[in-house]
A and B are shown apart, each in its own frame.
Chain A
Amino acid sequence: MSDNKKITLTIDGKTIQAESGQSIMNACDAQGIYIPRLCDSTGLVPQGSCRVCSVKVNGRVVAACTQPAEDGANIEHESDEIQGYRKDLVRMLFHEGNHLCPICEASGRCELQAMAYRFGISQATTYPYLQPVRPVDASHPDIALDNNRCILCGRCIRASRDVDGKNVFEYVGRGIHKRIGVNGDCLADTNADLNDYAMSLEVCPVGCIIRKGEGFFSPVGERQYDSDKIGSNIENHTAHSSLGKLIKVHQIDPNDAIHDDIDQSNVNEDKS
């Protein structure tokens, strides 16, 4: 896929080096430039559905996670216009579902919430709250699904299909009726397992996939995004080894070491 040819991009007037075949997002990650994202996650095939990673390339708005970096591209990333689009997208996600942060177990480690904090969203919007009536599926002994919080990022779909090789989740319906369905009448009917990568804390960016019996494991003040902005891990690194993982996004094998790594890290987190 990649012939490792070096190319040059301009992002907000700053010239950066990238490899040909890299997405704009991966090229920026490697340079310590964080492009906000919700539907993209390390180790999953980028999908480009949330559009929070929108950037303007040569005058066109594109999703940075799926758009390949081109030699000489002029990328607009933190302009008022692009930041405005991103903020509005995040605001609309809050209005579209039932996002009750005060009662949510994922609060403090929720990527949607952290993104809103990063954007400094605190003032009223003109969008109506849709307050949809969505089901909760608590049929599985170890996992519950609260669809009220779902933002349709599809990370669980890709994790289950590409990493676990199980196809537990899939999109059903279209347009405003689109939702995540499970491969059966309810989650208990599927072969979902607590140790699946799709059920790990890294995959669901919000609190939709709930690991039963593990809630509120970090006290307020010590949660993931309490003091660190989302994306600060990327901004604080410039082309360091820890980002090697971010770059090898496309090669996923169900038996890959990524899976074992992540299971292991979960076990450690549970103990802490």
Chain B
Amino acid sequence: MKKKRIATTSLAGCFGCHMSLLDIDERIFDLLELVEFDRSPLNDLKKFTRRCDIGLIEGGCCNEENVHVLREFRQNCDILVAVGQCAMMGGLPVMRNAIMHSDDPLRECLDEAFCTPKVLNPENQIPNDPALPLLLDKVYTCVDVVKIDYQIPGCPPSGETIWRALNALVKNEAPALEYDLIKYD
């Protein structure tokens, strides 16, 4: 059987889902019998070398670079899978979308992070280097930006969950998770 090509990325995530992928332990050897990794932080490939069968997305979109990368993944992957709560519904970063008593949650979030005297930031400056990707007005889920084929819930999904889902995907099946593998936390 021809090996499937997999690409992975972490957008507005914490890399926990990637750590969880590594949590399949020695089964990673079995996985490498079935798949080949293309663009991924695991092998440090920054660009797609060719079209991929499966793209795994960790995290939602909080800046314009995230949107750019996510669209690139959609263009280059046959099946796109949102992995983890951040990719599915925004996760923790999405908390900045709804801040109590705030009409401008992004401003409030940045003020709290950089302009309060609690933080060592003598110039009270919000980072604005042109090299930094522009923040979006709010955090978007992957589904808001591109078509997502499957989701693997969890924060992070356990190694077992990712293993089962990937096994189904390389066999061209929809990942079906049993009761004890569906977790939102």
Residues of A whose CB lies within 8 Å of any CB of B are 94, 98, 100-104, 107-108, 113, 116-118, 120-124, 129, 131-136, 148, 220, 226-227, 229
Contact = CB atoms under 8 A, between A and B. Distances in A.
Contact of B98 (A98, A104, A116): A98
Nearest to B161: A122
Interface size range of chain B in the complex: 20 to 34
Nearest to A147: B100
Contacts of A220: 185
Pairs of residues from A and B, 8 with the lowest C-beta to C-beta distance, nearest first: A101-B184, A102-B155, A107-B185, A101-B185, A133-B98, A131-B97, A122-B153, A131-B98
Contact of B100 (A103, A116, A136): A136
Given A116-B184, A133-B101, 20 more contacts: A98-B95, A100-B92, A102-B155, A102-B184, A104-B185, A107-B185, A117-B179, A122-B153, A122-B177, A123-B151, A124-B151, A129-B90, A129-B141, A131-B94, A133-B98, A133-B105, A134-B98, A135-B101, A226-B180, A227-B180
Contacts of A103: 92, 95
Contacts of B90: 129, 131
Interface in B98-117: 98-102, 105
B74 to A, nearest CB: 14
Contact of A101 (B85, B102, B148, B150): B85
The A interface is mostly helix, strand or loop, or mixed, namely: loop
Nearest to A225: B179
Contact of A124 (B82, B101, B102): B82
18 contacts: A98-B94, A98-B98, A100-B92, A101-B155, A102-B85, A102-B92, A102-B185, A108-B185, A116-B182, A116-B184, A120-B182, A122-B151, A123-B151, A124-B148, A131-B94, A131-B98, A135-B101, A229-B179
Interface in B162-184: 177, 179-180, 182-184
B91 interface: yes
A124 B98 contact: no
A100 B95 contact: yes
A36 B95 CA distance: 30
Nearest to A129: B89
Contacts, number: 76
A123 B102 CA distance: 32
A118 B152 CA distance: 16
Given A117-B179, A229-B179, A107 B184 contact: yes
B160 to A, nearest CB: 13
B77 interface: no
A131 B138 CA distance: 10
Contacts of B82: 124
Given A129-B141, A227-B180, A134 B185 contact: no
Contacts of A120: 177, 179, 182
A116 B89 CA distance: 15
B88 interface: yes
A134 B97 CA distance: 11
Contacts of A117: 179, 182-183
Interface in B41-95: 82, 85, 88-92, 94-95
Contacts of A135: 100-101
Interface string B4-23: 00000000000000000000
Contacts of B100: 133-136
B16 to A, nearest CB: 10
Contacts of A123: 150-151
Given A120-B179, A122-B182, A133-B100, A100 B91 contact: yes
A102 B91 contact: yes
B143 interface: yes
A220 B150 CA distance: 26
Contacts of B141: 129
A84 to B, nearest CB: 17
B180 to A, nearest CB: 6
A113 B183 CA distance: 9
Contacts of A108: 185
A121 B102 CA distance: 32
